[in-house]
Structure 1
């Protein structure tokens, strides 16, 4: 008698904030992870009230509630990769860093620090806590130009300054850094991947004329985590993820969802749930 076959799936945990409009945060992470053939889990860190036009308010999630969520996931489904997004106070930074200290797997940290309008979303002491506690744990951090500018204390607005800033972030204890070039004022966009003992790797793409880019940073970091969960190397995971995001932006440029900056088309080319046969 032949036994029924059993399968495991690549699992990705998103530790991030909420977006009721569905374009960013945990919602964008879940869509991205699912679209790339992985199984998504969530731990909610904050409850922002937002839509395509901006953030209206942010409600705190008790630290104990975040710990309980982590316990519930790790007691049941051990993640193959983790994406960390919005961590907006020191207590959460301390909790998450302590909890993940023994985690065996890749961690992608998208340091959500600056709003689209250029306002800081977290205080300087929390930023310093992220640098000291979360940066060393992360396999990769994925700041945009505004966030890099905050982290290094000077305006980063071109590729040469990006190169200098990347090396500065490695010196702060990061394992690797992807500086995203989506905010560059040029038609050709350059993102740079920095790793110790290697020259930076450049990823280039053409800017897409679209206002529908809400949640692109959240989606990119969870796309990288999804590929890492499948066992892809970091260089290729970043390359695949950037290609996915570029296509998702292209796939949404003609859509009208909301009155402001709309979301990406996460499901422009969805992949079925990946299944690995168990012995």
Structure 2
């Protein structure tokens, strides 16, 4: 299948446009998919950080998802900021109504440090979202919170990834941006059949806002188009690396990526 893949994104809105639903829509579109959304929360944020978060009512979140699934349908699902235990529970129930594979980005903290997942909800993500993930995409701090393991190097990424597979994820993309490995960044894709290393130069930039959202959504777009998992992840990884290199330098803090570079290439 190489047609326009349908991706239902269940995540929060970023008023600054660099992360969240806005980044998700841009990434899915750039990677050849069709993006639909169910917004979980509205954030007040820009490149300097998040100043407020307004969770949406659970029934409204579910109604958005149901409206999309009952009419347009989905070839892949992608979850991002969920925020509360109750939202995690409701989103897990939405995932159970679809046969489409889910890419779960366990968003916990914004780039500027603002918490986007209640501490009490970490356990709900562990018990409800991980077992429903066709692909889980944690960074090092998120993996540490979910497993209790230290992730300070490649071996730590591997151990945490294996623990997350044991918790029920069918595949785990352990992101290495937070791991201090010098001049290179290594992401590790683990499945029950083996592992794949994705390695590139560490780009010296502050324009990294929304990288996690963008990568997970780009992966979901590839999966929605029927690509094999390894190919979908590799293409998404390359897309994000170039989007960081071409970042437009907007804002005074952690700036956004150039999500649209593929559309102009």
Could you say which TM-score interval applies, normalised by the shorter chain? over 0.9
- Deviation track 1:143-193 (CA, whole Å, cap 9, x = no partner) reads 001111111224312111111111111111211111001122221111111
2:50·2:114 contact (CA, 8 Å) conserved in 1?
Answer: no
Question: How big is the shift at 1:119?
Answer: 5.8
In structure 2, C-alpha distance between the alignment counterparts of 1:120 and 1:201, rounded to whole Å: 31
What is the CA–CA distance in structure 2 between the aligned matches of 1:120 and 1:49, rounded to whole Å? 13
8 Å contact 1:188–1:206 — kept in the other structure? yes
1:126-152 Cα deviation digits (max 9, x unpaired): 111111111111101100011111112
1:187 matched to 2:183? The reply is: yes
Aligned partner (choices 168, 192, 205) of residue 200 of structure 2: 205
Q: Pick closer, same or farther for the CA change 1:39–1:119 going to 2, 3 Å.
A: closer
Q: Which residue of 2 aligns with 1:235?
A: 230
1:266, distance to aligned residue in structure 2 (A): 0.7
1:258 aligns with 2:255: no
Note the C-alpha offset of 1:118.
Answer: 5.0
Larger Rg: 1
The aligned residue for residue 123 of structure 1 is: 118
SS at 1:115's partner residue? Answer: coil
Structure 2 Cα separation of the partners of residues 75 and 269 of structure 1: 31
Residues 1:91 and 2:86 aligned together: yes
Gaps of 5+ in 2: none
Q: Does 1:31 align with 2:1?
A: no
Instruction: Tell me the matched-pair count.
Output: 263
Shift of 1:111: 0.3
State how far apart, in whole Å, the 2-side matches of 1:270 and 1:242 are: 17
Q: How far apart in 2 are the matches of 1:248 and 1:123?
A: 30
How far does the alpha carbon of each residue in 1:85-122 deviate from its partner, in whole angstroms, 9 at most, with x for none?
00111111111111221311221000001233556432
For residue 83 of structure 2, give the secondary structure of its aligned residue in structure 1.
Answer: coil
Question: Which residue of 34, 37, 51 corresponds with 2:46?
Answer: 51
What residue number does 1:104 align with? 99
Alpha carbons 1:166, 1:177 under 8 Å: kept: yes
User: Per-residue displacement from partner, 1:192-219 (whole Å, max 9, x unpaired)?
Assistant: 11111x2321111111111111000000
For residue 51 of structure 2, give the secondary structure of its aligned residue in structure 1. strand
Compute the RMSD of aligned alpha carbons: 1.7
Q: CA deviation at 1:32?
A: 0.6
Q: TM-score, normalised by structure 2?
A: 0.94
Q: Name 1:158's counterpart in structure 2.
A: 153
TM-score normalised over the length of structure 1: 0.90
- Contact 2:10–2:37, Cα closer than 8 Å, also in 1: yes
List aligned pairs for 1:58-97, cutoff 5 A: 58-97=53-92
Contact 1:37 1:270 in 2 (8 A): no
Consecutive unaligned residues in structure 1, runs of 5 or more? 1-7, 273-279
SS in 2 for 1:65: helix
Alpha-carbon distance, 1:66 to partner: 0.5
- 1:7-18 to structure 2, matched below 5 A, reads 9-18=4-13
Give the counterpart of 1:168 among 159, 163, 167.
163
Corresponding residue for 2:261? Answer: 268
Contact 2:111 2:209 in 1 (8 A): no
**Higher percent of residues as helix:** 2
Alpha-carbon distance in structure 1 between the residues aligned to 2:147 and 2:54 = 29
The answer for the alignment partner of 1:276 in structure 2 is: none
